[in-house]
Chains A and B, each alone.
Chain A
Amino acid sequence: MAEEETYMFWIWAMASTIFRLFLIFFFPENINLSSRPELSTPLTSLRRLAEGYWLKQASLSPYAESMFHGSPLLLSILGPLTIQRIEGKSSHHLCSLVFVIADILSALLLRATGQKLQKAFRLNLKRLGLLTSLHDRGILPCGDIAALVYLWNPFTILSCVGSSTSPIENLAVIVSLYGAVTRRVPLAAFGLIMAIHLSLYSATLAIPLIFLLGYGLDAPPIKKFLQTRHAGVETTGSTSDVSKQDKLTQTTQLFSWRTVLHFVFWVLVWSSCVLVLCSLSLKQYGGLEEMFKRTNGFILRIEDLSPNIGVFWYFFAEVFDFSRNYLLIVFNLYILLTGIPPLAFRLKHRPCFLAFAYLAFSSILKSYPSVGDAALYLSLRALFVNELTDMEHSCFIFCGYIGFSLLSPVMHNIWIWRGTGNANFYFGNAMGYACFQFMFVEKSVNAMLNHDQALKKATAEMFKNSAITAIF
């Protein structure tokens, strides 16, 4: 049974790779995917990267003329590939191959992460005594599911084929998660630093990573359970329960400061490495200051107001100049204050899920979001299929995602090519899409909290029953 499942997994993974290669080489040229605002943002567009590389070849700063805003390291790696041609084909094909490899790597890492999480899920159920044999069979291989969701998600496929660098950003994020889940601290730190370097918003991941390294993998909030259990233990006082409780207290280890310090140390090491490399590559062109201004400053100041699927471009195209700075501060603080601390308090016992929530939240409120971000958080969501079986409105949200992602090119067409619509049409679509994303995150978090509640109720009930049997 299990073997057959792995077999199927590999077949589907291979099929997705072949599908990607087919699309890369045989997609009709006149549907220019790389210029679609849904796929490539000013930060992730490969066309802009090629432009930056040309500027650099011409001994100009790659950041000149506000064309390129990505990382200088990525420029040094992908840049040479953008001018190499496979004979008869246009130049983006080599880069696309790199993206395909990045996607496959991400999927494999997701699978490994999922297997770890699945093991942890089973272990937790066993500890709480809720795992019956029937239940055991019901546990889904969430690693395989997540990897396949990542590989076959149309968003991932489109951003892989459509020449945007988001597959590499996603890979960095997944590497960091994988490193933290398998407790490979240097790897986790490397992934985090690369993710932050490629897109600033991944900095929020630092919190779940620290939790993950400090507290361990996702688990139900055991402390709460202990309280209910204490009540049970006091009335019965049976020895077997005491030993069980001891075992539980042992598992709820305290926050392991050593690992976290280790992590911080590696973060410092990797960040200094990245900074040194960047400053080397940008030595003649203004150095690190220029880089921070043109990449992170560009993200925070929302300078490019070309349409995208986010909600900020329209707003900042409309505001008066004198209130622009104030609103920039308000919006950036809004992301920082409303999203991050509450979720961190509520979900600190489930760091991987917290990472999902952060990524989803930031992909809604990003200044330049693309569907590649959605692809990442959707597949992270698939890691929790076992916990989130009871998500509400799932069908409705699914239909909404499909509807709005199909509507987006239509609205763009009506606005740009036909001239019968205007910017409001496209922005309305972006708003609807953001609403559905919000609903998705909210329902997921709710379902997770409900799941914890249900576990708590189940253990409490079981204890009551065992207490009653012990009395009589």
Chain B
Amino acid sequence: MAAVNRDNEEEVKTDDGSPKIKPRPIVRLGIFLIAHSPVFSVVFSAAGVLALLLLPLLAKNTYISENALMPGSARSMLSNRDVSDGSKLVKDIKNFRLNHEGQGVEVQKLIGKYMSDMGAEVSYQKFHPEGNQFHPLHFFSGPDSYTLLENVSCASYGVNVAGIIRAPRGDGKESIVLVTPYDFINGGDYEDLSLGIVSSLFSLLSRVTWLSKDIIWLVADSRYGDYRPVAAWLTEYHSPSFKVSDLLKCDEQNTADNFRRAGTMAAALVLKVDGRSEKFEDTLSIYAEASNGQMPNLDLINVVNYLAVHRQGFYVKVEKVVSLLSSSWLKIFGEIFEAVGKLAHMLNPDWNFGIPAADYLEGSATLASSLYSQALGIPTGPHGAFRDYQVDAITLKVSPRFPPDSKTRQHDFFLRGARLLEGTIRSVNNLLEKFHQSFFLYMLTSPSKFISVGVYMIAFALLVAPLPMVAASLYIDGCKSLTNSTDNPTENFKSWKWLDAAKQVFTLHLFGFIVTLLPYFICQVPGQHSPTNRSIMWGTTSSSLLLITFVTMPGCSPFSSRLHGTNWAILKSVTISAAFIGLCLMSIINFATAEIGALLLVPTCLMAQPIKPALRSRRLKSLLGAFCSIVLLTIGFPVMFFAISKGLLGEGLVGLSLGGEFWTWLESLWAWKSATYLYIGMVHLPCWLLCLCILFHPS
């Protein structure tokens, strides 16, 4: 699209002097689009936003794409005996806890003993909870090996317990992982229930003959969060470090040699039990978003959803933004779409795209949550650690409808939970290859509805389509005005006029890059500093850097005299090109970030124009344009946008504490290796600054 447009733009220019050849239709279309770029950019942007709003309507029902999975086709073999095994473990742990207050290691041993009694190979792994590390470019490298800290204290370390059942029909090259995060020191009653479910299942799986993939049950020590222990275990599993860790000396218990492995992982299920369900039924929430908006294969979610709904009678849900459910404007949209759908159905009974307004609201709220958690790039649970090794994993959070101490209901609950897991494992067990059949790039609007990449990309493509068009038309304008203004014969650089503007764009992107890396150095500053202090340090260093840039390179500054300044049309054209490249790159890395970023950046870039001529002319239209661009630029500043979005989410924030909040938020982004942080620093911030330069351009 961009190529065609740009080609044509040059075509017009060269055709001026030489005898005119009639251009091809596609070229003429391009010229037409460029000539009317203001109209088309408004149309395309509006269409992009509309397409985003339409997405819940376009969601398709999920289906199981891989035939080999055959979920629910086999009768469940889980018996009451297995469930009573699970109940016994829970009871034992509770008793043990009552007797021995705060002795975590002993609980691990108890669980380990249970596992080995069932015939599993048990191994313990010690790990050290890592601190927040700043590696912003981590995205481009693979999962690195677990960095051993030099002087670790024995005071804080966790111990994972893993049991492996060898499959009677397997060759030990493939495995399925079950994870139960469990806090050994102060785990609550609900956490015990998750152990109960998995141990019931484990007891069954140690006896069955149909198993062809080994089963690993990992009881992750969740004292230091759910994610860290799983990530540490996975690193040890995939890339063992051959240095002797200091942790081994901390305890007499030798954990070094007995780390067990079971081949590549086909899938992983993380089970958590927490809270009481508000619904009448037991609730199952599915969390799937891993780091940088990566999702597990849709088939895995489909299998779980199918079994949970149609076999075990759970109420399945995925996360949604609750505040959107009551938003009136979205409701109006839903009603309009419903009415249009009904009208279309009346006109032609085959057109069935309308959905009820309530469904639309639900779908949009879920979609918004899906977009938000993908855009943040922070995994929504321990399953995120698996995705780094290309293992499909989801977290299942079950909320029972009974209080945790109700013995009578517990048995039934274990039975159903374990049957759900059994069915899922049986399906995955059938697979001969990795999950590949279904989608990896999708967004959920409900547990059984999804939007695939082919559909949601349309919204983004429409949104960014004006950028190359406007860039081309501005480029032509800029060239024309330059040739008119300079009659200097030495000015023979017909086609290299953009170099000055490119220099400015490059300088500001470099500035953005440095600002992105600054937190690394600020974190190295000795002493304890509050996030607010750190954010002030960051702000002052960045703004002084910006000032230095403007002083040393007069061409870059918006406040320089007219002599130094470049033509603003060409500057805007190059800025828009840079924004276009950045957004397209980001859409491949993390679509959701690019979509939200485009919603902010595209109008800002398109509206940006010098404010001085607008004020001078005093015409309503240009004043309105200037006002719009100022408003957009104010919203587009990352801190401002952060504050606004936080305010919308219902947390009032004012003053300096905002800086601290922003710093903490960014810290979470880079600690989770989110590419969104890079996007904000290296695409959004420079483009925003460039728009500011254009706004104050002395033309």
Q: Is the CB of A406 within 8 A of B581?
A: yes
Residue of B whose beta carbon sits closest to that of A416: B142
CA distance A409 to B493 in the complex (A): 34
- Does the CB pair B6–A393 fall under 8 Å? yes
Chain A hits for B475, CB < 8 A: 395
CB distance from A34 to the nearest CB of B (A): 12
Smallest distance from the beta carbon of B553 to chain A beta carbons, Å? 14
Question: What residues of chain A lie closer than 8 Å to B3, measured between beta carbons?
Answer: 396, 400
Q: Which of A390-411 contact B (CB under 8 A)?
A: 390-396, 398-400, 402-403, 406-407, 409-411
B495 touches A135 (CB 8 A): no
* A138 at interface, CB cutoff 8 A: yes
Residue A337 lies at the interface, judged by CB distance under 8 Å to chain B: no
Minimum distance in angstroms from B570 CB to a CB of chain A:
9
A413 touches B140 (CB 8 A): yes
Q: Total A-B pairs in contact (CB under 8 Å)?
A: 81
A398-B495 in contact (CB<8A)? no
Question: How far does the Cβ of B592 sit from chain A's closest Cβ, in whole Å?
Answer: 14
Residues in chain A near residue B490, CB distance under 8 A: 134-135, 137-138
Cβ–Cβ contact A392 & B10, under 8 A: yes
Interface of A is mostly: helix
| Cα(A409)–Cα(B141), bound, Å | 10
Which B residues touch A134, using CB under 8 A? Answer: 489-490
Contact between A31 and B141 (Cβ–Cβ < 8 Å)? yes
Q: Are A419 and B390 in contact (CB under 8 A)?
A: yes
- A30-B144, A406-B585, A407-B588 known; A394 and B498 CB under 8 Å? yes
- Residue of A31, A32, A400, A420 ringed by the most chain B CB atoms within 10 A: A420
Beyond A407-B585, A418-B294, whether A389 also contacts B495 by CB under 8 A is: yes
Chain A residues whose C-beta falls within 8 Å of the C-beta of B137 in the assembled complex: 28, 31
Question: How far is it, in angstroms, between the C-alpha of A420 and the C-alpha of B435 when the chains are bound?
Answer: 11
Contact digits for B562-588, partner A, Cβ 8 Å, 1 yes 0 no = 000000000001100100010011001
Determine if B492 and A420 form an interchain contact, defined as CB atoms under 8 angstroms apart.
no
Residue A414 CB within 8 A of the other chain: yes
Residues of A within 8 A of B496 (CB): 389, 391, 394
Q: Is the CB of B294 within 8 A of A420?
A: yes
Is A345 at the interface (CB under 8 A from chain B)? no
Given contacts A390-B494, A394-B498, A419-B390, contact A31 B140 (CB under 8 A): yes
Q: Does B538 contact A (CB under 8 A)?
A: no
In the complex, which residues 580-603 of chain B have their Cβ closer than 8 Å to any Cβ of chain A? 581, 584-585, 588-589
Pair B498/A420 contact, Cβ less than 8 Å: no
Contact of B498 among A395, A403, A406 (CB under 8 A): A395
Q: Closest Cβ of chain B: how far from A174's Cβ, in Å? A: 24
Contact of A392 among B440, B495, B581 (CB under 8 A): B495
Residue of A nearest to B577 (CB): A399
Q: Choose among B138, B143, B390, B495 the residue with the greatest number of A CB atoms under 10 Å from its CB.
A: B495
Residues of A near B294 (CB, < 8 A) are 418, 420
Q: How large is the interface on A (under 10, 10 to 19, 20 to 34, 35 or more residues)?
A: 20 to 34
Number of interface residues of B (CB under 8 A): 37
Cβ-based interface call for A472 (8 A): no
Once bound together, how far apart are the Cα atoms of A123 and B7, in whole Å?
A: 36
Q: Are A399 and B581 closer than 8 Å at their CB atoms?
A: yes
Once A395-B574, A414-B588, A417-B142 are accepted as A-B contacts, the answer to whether A28 and B135 lie under 8 Å apart by CB is yes
Q: Assess whether B441 is interfacial by the CB under 8 Å rule.
A: yes
Question: Smallest Cβ distance from A29 to chain B, in angstroms?
Answer: 9
In Å, the complex CA distance between A419 and B390 comes to 6
Q: Does B14 contact A (CB under 8 A)?
A: yes
Indicate if B54 sits at the interface (CB-CB under 8 A): no
Whether B495 contacts A420 by the Cβ 8 Å rule is no
A396 to B6, Cβ gap below 8 A?
Answer: yes
CA–CA, A402 and B140, complex, Å: 17
**A32 touching B141 in the complex, CB below 8 Å, given contacts A390-B495, A392-B495:** yes
Chain B residues with CB below 8 A from A392, complex form: 10, 14, 495
Pick the contact of B390: A389, A390, A418 (CB < 8 A). Answer: A418
Contacts A393-B6, A396-B6, A420-B441 given: A410-B390 contact, CB under 8 Å?
Answer: no
Q: Does B641 contact A (CB under 8 A)?
A: no
B353 within 8 A of A: no
CA separation between A407 and B144, bound complex, in Å?
22
A419 CA to B142 CA, complexed, in Å? 12
CB of B627 within 8 A of chain A? no
Question: Which residues does chain A contribute within 8 Å of B138, judged by CB atoms?
Answer: 30
Contact with A along B521-535 (1 / 0, CB 8 A): 000000000000000
Q: Does B623 contact A (CB under 8 A)?
A: no
With a CB–CB cut-off of 8 A, which chain A residues contact B495? 389-395
Q: CB-defined interface of B458-498 with A at 8 Å, one 1/0 digit per residue? A: 00000000000000000100000000000001101111101
Task: Point out the residues of chain B lying under 8 angstroms from A393, CB to CB.
Answer: 6-7, 10, 495
Chain A residues near B10 (CB-CB < 8 A): 392-393, 396
A30 to B588, CA, bound (A): 23
B493: nearest chain-A partner, CB-CB: A389
Candidates A396, A411, A420; contact of B440 at CB < 8 Å: A420
- Give A218 to B43 CA distance when docked, in angstroms: 52
B392 CB to nearest chain A CB (Å): 9
Q: In the docked arrangement, what's the CA distance between A419 and B140, Å?
A: 14
Q: For B144, list chain A residues within 8 Å (CB).
A: 30
Docked complex Cα distance between A419 and B436 (Å): 9
User: How long is the Cα–Cα vector from A416 to B390 in the complex, in angstroms?
Assistant: 10
Decide if B210 is an interface residue (CB 8 Å cutoff).
no
Contacts of A390 in B (CB 8 A): 492, 494-495
Contacts of B142 in A (CB 8 A): 416-417
In angstroms, Cα B292 to Cα A417, docked, is 13
A32 and B142 CA atoms in complex are apart in Å by 10
* B139 close to A (CB within 8 Å): yes
* Residue B502 interfacial (CB < 8 Å): yes
Q: How far is the CB of A470 from chain B (nearest CB, A)?
A: 26
Verify B585–A410 contact, CB threshold 8 A: yes
Q: Which of B6, B135, B137, B441 has the most CB of A within 10 A?
A: B6
Let me know if A413 and B581 touch, CB within 8 A.
no
Interface 0/1 of B133-175, CB less than 8 Å to A: 0010111111110000000000000000000000000000000
| Residue of chain B at shortest CB distance from A392 | B10
Residue of A nearest to B13 (CB): A392
Closest A residue to B434 by beta carbon equals A419
Set of chain B residues within 8 Å of A398, measured between Cβ atoms: 502
Could you say which residues of chain B place their CB within 8 Å of the CB of A413?
A: 139-140, 589
Q: Are A389 and B588 in contact (CB under 8 A)?
A: no
Q: Assess the A410–B589 pair: CB atoms within 8 A.
A: yes
Q: Which residues from B are CB-within-8-Å of A411?
A: 588
CB distance from A209 to the nearest CB of B (A): 30
Taken residue by residue from 2 to 21, chain B's Cβ proximity to chain A (1 for < 8 Å, 0 otherwise) reads as 01001100100010000000
For residue A421, give the distance in angstroms from its CB to the closest CB of chain B. Answer: 8
B440, A403: Cβ atoms closer than 8 Å: no
**Smallest Cβ-Cβ distance to B490: which chain A residue:** A138
Residues on B with C-beta less than 8 A from A418 are 294, 387, 390
Determine whether the beta carbon of A410 is less than 8 Å from that of B588. Answer: yes
A406 contacts across to B, CB distance below 8 A: 581, 585
**Chain B residues with CB under 8 A of A419:** 390, 440
Please indicate the chain B residues that have their CB under 8 angstroms from the CB of A403 in the complex: 581, 584-585
CB contacts (< 8 Å) of A30 on chain B: these are: 135, 138, 141, 144
- Segment 12-48 of A: residues with Cβ below 8 Å from B: 28, 30-32
**Nearest neighbor of A390 in chain B, beta-carbon distance:** B494
A-B contact pairs, 29 of them (CB 8 A): A28-B135, A30-B141, A31-B140, A32-B141, A134-B490, A389-B492, A389-B496, A392-B10, A392-B495, A393-B6, A393-B7, A393-B10, A394-B496, A394-B498, A395-B475, A395-B495, A395-B574, A395-B577, A396-B3, A396-B6, A396-B7, A396-B10, A403-B585, A409-B140, A410-B589, A413-B139, A413-B140, A416-B142, A418-B294
Q: Which 9 A-B pairs have the closest CB atoms?
A: A396-B6, A419-B390, A420-B440, A138-B490, A395-B498, A403-B581, A394-B495, A390-B494, A30-B144
